[in-house]
């Protein structure tokens, strides 16, 4: 779906635009620029992958230098600037410098993200031109509407992913607009889950970081398409403070809780959109583990099911194959009482007290064939902790996407 205004530009004080600079062979928009009217408080979380792409290394140092003060974000799709050595790092910095100059911003005010092919040098000539065009276009109506900004960060995503949420903090309306890209690590060497969220909330850097980590922990960190992390994964949030409510200085401030709730809604919406758009996905699969000894073990069990090719192919085949879910739980490392474990798929109770129950296999198969959203709930029977993870099924299309395209 495309909306008249992009989610990020629905937040007062933010302009955005997507332009074409020629990184995508398709000629589709491939360079996105988001610009705030004033310097913003910024917080970001990055990939845990040891091989961090040049822009990630640049941004890590940037956040350190600025203490979390930024005014713009530059994102390119088509080249990840990853495994590009020293030249890659210099290129990431040059991209930031060009954007800062073009937008009349001081040094160290632009955050850089890249997604695309790994191991190829950035075509800096194209980027120099593209950055100039983007910084000019963003001052026009297109910039006010955020034209093509969500499209410009897509790689093999089938749809742009945007979420807009409003929340009242201290009797003031606070706006949050976010966009994301990603559908697994993608053909032939493309990668990455990127998300940018902007808000007019007034919040201190430390509190914003705490809020982002809290929101990401149970959303972006709870999704998986194929179990692979990328070299570029990044989630960034910019807060302009223009909403005018009392400053959220820390997690004890009255505005913190409602803000985290709204931010979690944005992250959750974007995260599920990424999974729904997973490579070759035909179903969104929600896996909830209950009765675990700890939340860590609940998450481990859920993620083991969520990354099991057997479970994912079974659900693609509309097969209520609970044996595969139990086998996955059994190797997850989570403590479980085999005599107490229970399992439910949608409305079908398949296992109780560790024993298989008779159920209408045909009805379950038909239900799976018709739904595009599957809920699997397992109780490990050893504690009170629980966790939910979202993934998608594994289809012929996934194999095609990842096998048929060649580097």
How far does the chain reach from its first CA to its final CA, in angstroms? Answer: 31
Please confirm, yes or no, whether 192 is among the known catalytic residues.
Answer: yes
360 in contact with a second copy (CB under 8 A): no
Q: For the chain, give me the number of helices (H) and strands (E)? A: 11, 15
Sign, Cα dihedral of 115, 220, 222, 265: negative
Q: Which residue has the tokens 């792409």?
A: 53
Catalytic residue among 9, 47, 192, 219: 192
Q: Which of 220, 177, 236 is nearest to 201 (CA)?
A: 177
Rounded CA separation 218/204 (Å) = 22
Rounded CA separation 8/22 (Å) = 24
89 in contact with a second copy (CB under 8 A): no
**Candidate list 329, 374, 385, 389; residue touching a second copy; CB under 8 A:** 329
Rounded CA separation 15/194 (Å) = 19
Binding mask 291-310 for a second copy (x = CB under 8 A): ----------------xxxx
Binding mask 52-81 for a second copy (x = CB under 8 A): x-----------------------------
Quick one: 189 or 261, whose CB is closer to a second copy? 189
Q: Which residue has the tokens 């398709």?
A: 26
Rounded CA separation 259/240 (Å) = 14
**Candidate list 125, 139, 158, 331; residue touching a second copy; CB under 8 A:** 331
- Identify which range of 62-70, 175-183, 225-233, 370-378 contacts a second copy by CB under 8 A: 225-233
Query: Would you say 146 and 164 are in contact if contact means Cβ atoms under 8 Å apart?
Result: no
- Identify which range of 137-145, 199-207, 244-252, 322-330 contacts a second copy by CB under 8 A: 322-330
How crowded is residue 39: how many other Cβ atoms within 10 Å of its Cβ? 17
Q: Could you give phi then psi for residue 222, rounded to 5 degrees? A: -115, 15
Quick one: 106 or 338, whose CB is closer to a second copy? 338
**Candidate list 241, 320, 381, 383; residue touching a second copy; CB under 8 A:** 320
Quick one: 249 or 321, whose CB is closer to a second copy? 321
Rounded CA separation 368/206 (Å) = 45
Quick one: 83 or 247, whose CB is closer to a second copy? 83
Q: Which residue has the tokens 């799709």?
A: 77
Size of the site for a second copy (CB under 8 A): 63
227 in contact with a second copy (CB under 8 A): yes
Q: At what angle do helices 85-102 and 124-137 cross, to 10 degrees?
A: 20
Quick one: 234 or 240, whose CB is closer to a second copy? 234
- For 187, the token pair is 């053909």
Q: Which of 24, 36, 27, 22 is nearest to 143 (CA)?
A: 36
407 in contact with a second copy (CB under 8 A): yes
Query: Would you say 374 and 315 are in contact if contact means Cβ atoms under 8 Å apart?
Result: yes
Q: Could you give phi then psi for residue 385, rounded to 5 degrees? A: -75, 155
Binding mask 105-144 for a second copy (x = CB under 8 A): -------------xxx------------------------
User: What is the smallest separation between the CB atom of 85 and a second copy, expressed in angstroms?
Assistant: 5
Give the DSSP H or E segment for 145.
helix 141-145
326 in contact with a second copy (CB under 8 A): yes
Quick one: 209 or 318, whose CB is closer to a second copy? 318
340 in contact with a second copy (CB under 8 A): no
193 in contact with a second copy (CB under 8 A): no
346 in contact with a second copy (CB under 8 A): no
Q: Which of 301, 307, 373 is nearest to 332 (CA)?
A: 301
**Candidate list 89, 317, 346, 375; residue touching a second copy; CB under 8 A:** 317
**Candidate list 64, 171, 370, 404; residue touching a second copy; CB under 8 A:** 404
Catalytic residues: 192
Residues engaged in binding a second copy (CB under 8 A)? 48-52, 82-83, 85, 118-120, 184-185, 188-189, 191, 226-231, 307-310, 313-314, 316-324, 326-331, 336, 338, 351, 354-356, 361, 365, 394-396, 398-400, 402-407
């Amino acid at each position: 779906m495309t909306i008249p205004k992009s989610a990020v530009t629905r937040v007062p004080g933010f302009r955005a635009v997507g332009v074409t600079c020629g990184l995508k062979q398709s000629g589709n928009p491939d360079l996105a620029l988001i610009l705030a009217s004033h310097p913003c408080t910024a917080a970001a979380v990055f990939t845990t992958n040891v091989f961090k792409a040049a822009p990630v290394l640049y941004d890590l140092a940037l956040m350190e230098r600025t203490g979390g003060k930024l005014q713009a974000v530059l994102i390119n799709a088509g080249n990840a600037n990853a495994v590009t050595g020293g030249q890659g790092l210099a290129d990431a910095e040059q991209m930031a410098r060009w954007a800062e100059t073009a937008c009349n911003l001081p040094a160290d005010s632009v955050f850089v993200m890249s997604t695309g092919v790994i191991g190829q040098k950035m075509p800096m000539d194209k980027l120099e031109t593209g950055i100039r065009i983007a910084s000019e276009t963003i001052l026009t109506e297109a910039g006010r509407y955020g034209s093509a900004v969500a499209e410009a960060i897509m790689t093999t995503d089938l749809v742009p992913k945007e979420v807009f949420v409003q929340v009242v903090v201290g009797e003031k309306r606070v706006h949050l607009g976010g966009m994301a890209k990603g559908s697994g690590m993608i053909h032939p060497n493309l990668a990455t889950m990127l998300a940018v969220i902007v808000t007019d909330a007034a919040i201190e850097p430390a509190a914003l970081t705490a809020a982002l980590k809290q929101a990401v922990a149970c959303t972006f960190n709870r999704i998986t398409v194929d179990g692979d992390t990328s070299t570029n994964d990044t989630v960034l949030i910019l807060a302009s403070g223009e909403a005018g409510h009392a400053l959220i200085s820390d997690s004890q401030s009255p505005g913190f809780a409602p803000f985290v709730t709204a931010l979690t809604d944005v992250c959750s919406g974007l995260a599920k959109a990424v999974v729904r758009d997973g490579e070759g996905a035909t179903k969104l699969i929600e896996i909830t583990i209950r009765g675990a000894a700890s939340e860590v073990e609940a998450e481990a069990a859920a993620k083991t099911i969520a990354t099991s090719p057997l479970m994912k192919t079974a659900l693609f085949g509309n097969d209520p194959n609970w044996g595969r879910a139990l086998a996955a739980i059994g190797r997850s490392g989570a403590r479980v009482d085999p005599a107490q474990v229970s399992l439910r798929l949608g409305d079908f109770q398949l296992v109780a007290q560790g024993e298989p129950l008779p159920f209408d296999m045909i009805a379950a198969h038909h239900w799976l064939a018709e739904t595009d959203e599957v809920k699997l709930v397992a109780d490990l029977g050893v504690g009170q902790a629980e966790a939910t993870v979202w993934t998608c099924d594994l289809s012929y299309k996934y194999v095609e996407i990842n096998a048929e395209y060649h580097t």
